[in-house]
Chain A
């Protein structure tokens, strides 16, 4: 039983948490939901006493009889990994790359002197088997495993000593949907089996809806609502819960305006990479990242491209943008061939918005110069006042102030940066915009607004979108037609609604089954919501 009472936290006098209270029962899964900056991770780190320097924590936190906040650092070391342990979002960096996975799981046991080295390895093997890695050797290194497998190793290490509380901080955010479903199932099983408590921290309402017994919704350091999952999601008493819920299943208003003529044609495109070197000169067989892909993008259409990581969608994107050559087939846009040698005029017709709102801009440039960069494609780039007018126009189009052009990118939030990225894509008045996971890194409420913006712009400017994403909900919300990609091939293609409601290919069916769904509202009669 975990009891947090009136927990408040300030870091360097900036308030982070105020008056957070919650209880997690034995064998219970407790979901802590909120957007970035809401303080959900800080609550967990506060429990673990792993807060950054300058943090001041007041209140109470008890794990059964243990008063966590009065423990010294040495006493906490004995508790961490033993009574309470934690897994993190990024399984790529949570493991030490130069240690074998067996050693890393056994390490927990050795630190807490729960076993002798030989015994620790035996227990580690046993734990790895339990998390579904019986086919993986103890001597494997993290880089030899997939993301999902690495997260399983982290889980094995975290549960090695049968902790009373496991904290999972966004454990599946970095994983593909099918992997996410497996990891969530595993966590569920472990909670039942070990009779431990699980604090599941996530931004994704759909994940907790499927998993948690009770949830708490956090906003700006406070818990605004908590209770049994079904009740909270059905009643949505607090306006923020309602806003979060609506944003999660947000459907921008769109009109079908696809014209019959194709703007972009992709025909039998093959993109190979040289195989792995297996000697000084010799190389293995080339890897076919994109393997005979064909599709059309029509004027004014919004086309989705769905697939899990490694399916070749990013490679295909770079080929469509003319950044890399293709080894077979052809890509044509506006009737002209696309490739690394394509003329600038053609390039200015296809622009792109990337996923990462933080890596998308040169940190040393001001917004005006950043947004104006694609002007390089024009034979006579506008300069001086004309350039400023065009940048101001693009910024207004994405609902930013023209005054923002004198600022640096770090002065903006993630959502605002994504607007700047869209402004940069619009500046040359392109017909096609490739959106490469453009909303994946954003919080749900910000994502809903960006999707609205994209729908508006499409209608006003008659844009064609190629919308690349792993997020099925988003693709369903914004696209007319969808392509499903697996291992370099398009396995299914069709109208978005048809594909989503009646998938034909087994892979599409698997993807849709794995995606967590927020379906509580659908089961509820409409009048109960009012």
Chain B
């Protein structure tokens, strides 16, 4: 058996820690994050507050845990939008290669790609009002062309194979072939892409909530924790360092996991590793 790539193990472990923290936060957090107790403000790390408190007396660890929940939820749903809409579009484009439909889908993708994603996301949340849902939509829209391209690219190379021809002589239509033969065989590409898009989603969510267009108070989010810590960065640097570190670690973990999965799932790389 081949060994698992080290980057996969490390990345998956880091991602799992954050996921676990987010899940635990539904049941239990060390301290309530909606309760502002000014008497406890700016406590140092250790003691009753493991990572200390912020200027409103909220427990940093609890906020990070609940913030992880927000980040993961937003990024996950945004990736889901990309997969659910993008993959069928990509498969349809590949199945009708060279047709008008293919052109329309791919040029539509190019159109979305041509917009600077974060600026449009800010526009959307600014027009429709800042909320987690609008952040999800804004990030999700830009995932659609990514998945459509990956799906089309993978599918095109499969359409030339003999087993697809054999399925056609068995009277199967393009829709059925796409579902039965193409989709399972490009699943590995999609999984890898999903991990990468997931990490980009976390970054985008942090950026949106940093400028106040993501999840709204009192729901904590990493981006807003950073923004609120900005004014105190010289006196209490840990307030900014901790959420920043959380973002960096989560994104790093997901990227490493994506890299590792690519190594594991891509048969060409698998052969190269021996």
- Residues of A that sit less than 8 Å from B by CB: 12, 52-54, 318, 321-323, 344, 347-348, 350-352, 354-356, 359-364, 373-377, 421, 424
Q: In the complex, which residues of chain B have a beta carbon less than 8 angstroms from the beta carbon of A375?
A: 170
Residue of B nearest to A352 (CB): B169
In the docked arrangement, what's the CA distance between A355 and B163, Å? 11
Q: How far is the CB of A337 from chain B (nearest CB, A)?
A: 16
Q: How far is the CB of B7 from chain A (nearest CB, A)?
A: 20
Q: A351-B169, A360-B162 are in contact. List 12 more A-B contacts (CB 8 A).
A: A321-B168, A347-B170, A347-B171, A348-B171, A352-B165, A352-B166, A354-B166, A362-B181, A373-B167, A373-B170, A374-B171, A375-B170
Q: How far is the CB of A436 from chain B (nearest CB, A)?
A: 9
Q: Specify which of B163, B168, B169, B171 is in contact with A362 (CB 8 Å cutoff).
A: B163
Q: In the complex, which residues of chain B have a beta carbon less than 8 angstroms from the beta carbon of A318?
A: 165
Verify if B161 is at the interface (C-beta below 8 Å from A).
Answer: yes
Verify if B35 is at the interface (C-beta below 8 Å from A).
Answer: no
Q: Are B169 and A347 in contact (CB under 8 A)?
A: yes
Residue of A nearest to B180 (CB): A362
Verify if B184 is at the interface (C-beta below 8 Å from A).
Answer: yes
Q: How far is the CB of A217 from chain B (nearest CB, A)?
A: 29
Interface of B, helix, strand, loop or mixed by DSSP = helix
Q: Specify which of A12, A321, A361 is in contact with B169 (CB 8 Å cutoff).
A: A321
Most chain A CB within a 10 A radius of its CB, from B162, B167, B172, B180: B162
Q: In the complex, which residues of chain B have a beta carbon less than 8 angstroms from the beta carbon of A424?
A: 166
Q: How far is the CB of B66 from chain A (nearest CB, A)?
A: 40
Q: How far is the CB of A437 from chain B (nearest CB, A)?
A: 11
In the docked arrangement, what's the CA distance between A421 and B171, Å? 16
Q: How far is the CB of B241 from chain A (nearest CB, A)?
A: 44
Q: A361 with B274: in contact, given A347-B171, A376-B171, A376-B172 (CB under 8 Å)?
A: no
Q: Are B169 and A360 in contact (CB under 8 A)?
A: no
In the docked arrangement, what's the CA distance between A12 and B273, Å? 13
Q: Which of B128-157 contact A (CB under 8 A)?
A: none
- Count contacts on B: residues with CB < 8 A to the other chain: 16
Q: How far is the CB of B258 from chain A (nearest CB, A)?
A: 22
Q: Are B168 and A323 in contact (CB under 8 A)?
A: yes
Q: Specify which of A54, A322, A361, A374 is in contact with B163 (CB 8 Å cutoff).
A: A361
Q: In the complex, which residues of chain B have a beta carbon less than 8 angstroms from the beta carbon of A361?
A: 163
In the docked arrangement, what's the CA distance between A16 and B168, Å? 40
Verify if B219 is at the interface (C-beta below 8 Å from A).
Answer: no
Q: Are B185 and A377 in contact (CB under 8 A)?
A: no
Q: In the complex, which residues of chain A have a beta carbon less than 8 angstroms from the beta carbon of B185?
A: 362-364
Residue of B nearest to A342 (CB): B171
Most chain A CB within a 10 A radius of its CB, from B165, B167, B171: B171
In the docked arrangement, what's the CA distance between A52 and B273, Å? 11
Q: In the complex, which residues of chain A have a beta carbon less than 8 angstroms from the beta carbon of B171?
A: 344, 347-348, 374, 376-377
Most chain A CB within a 10 A radius of its CB, from B162, B168, B169, B172: B169
Q: In the complex, which residues of chain A have a beta carbon less than 8 angstroms from the beta carbon of B172?
A: 373, 376
In the docked arrangement, what's the CA distance between A52 and B274, Å? 9
Q: In the complex, which residues of chain B have a beta carbon less than 8 angstroms from the beta carbon of A421?
A: 166
Q: A359 with B184: in contact, given A323-B169, A376-B170 (CB under 8 Å)?
A: no
Q: In the complex, which residues of chain A have a beta carbon less than 8 angstroms from the beta carbon of B165?
A: 318, 323, 352, 354
Residue of A nearest to B184 (CB): A364
Q: A377 with B170: in contact, given A52-B274, A362-B181, A364-B185 (CB under 8 Å)?
A: yes
Q: Are A355 and B170 in contact (CB under 8 A)?
A: no
Residue of A nearest to B166 (CB): A360
Q: Specify which of A12, A54, A350, A373 is in contact with B166 (CB 8 Å cutoff).
A: A373
In the docked arrangement, what's the CA distance between A361 and B170, Å? 13
In the docked arrangement, what's the CA distance between A354 and B169, Å? 11
Q: In the complex, which residues of chain A have a beta carbon less than 8 angstroms from the beta carbon of B169?
A: 321-323, 347, 350-352, 374
Residue of A nearest to B160 (CB): A359
In the docked arrangement, what's the CA distance between A54 and B272, Å? 12
Q: Which of B158-194 contact A (CB under 8 A)?
A: 161-163, 165-172, 180-181, 184-185
Q: In the complex, which residues of chain B have a beta carbon less than 8 angstroms from the beta carbon of A52?
A: 274
In the docked arrangement, what's the CA distance between A337 and B161, Å? 27
> 14 A-B Cβ contacts within 8 A?
A323-B169, A352-B165, A352-B169, A354-B165, A360-B163, A362-B180, A362-B181, A362-B184, A362-B185, A363-B185, A364-B184, A374-B169, A374-B170, A374-B171
In the docked arrangement, what's the CA distance between A54 and B185, Å? 31
In the docked arrangement, what's the CA distance between A107 and B230, Å? 58
Q: How far is the CB of B28 from chain A (nearest CB, A)?
A: 42
In the docked arrangement, what's the CA distance between A415 and B172, Å? 27
Q: How far is the CB of A214 from chain B (nearest CB, A)?
A: 35
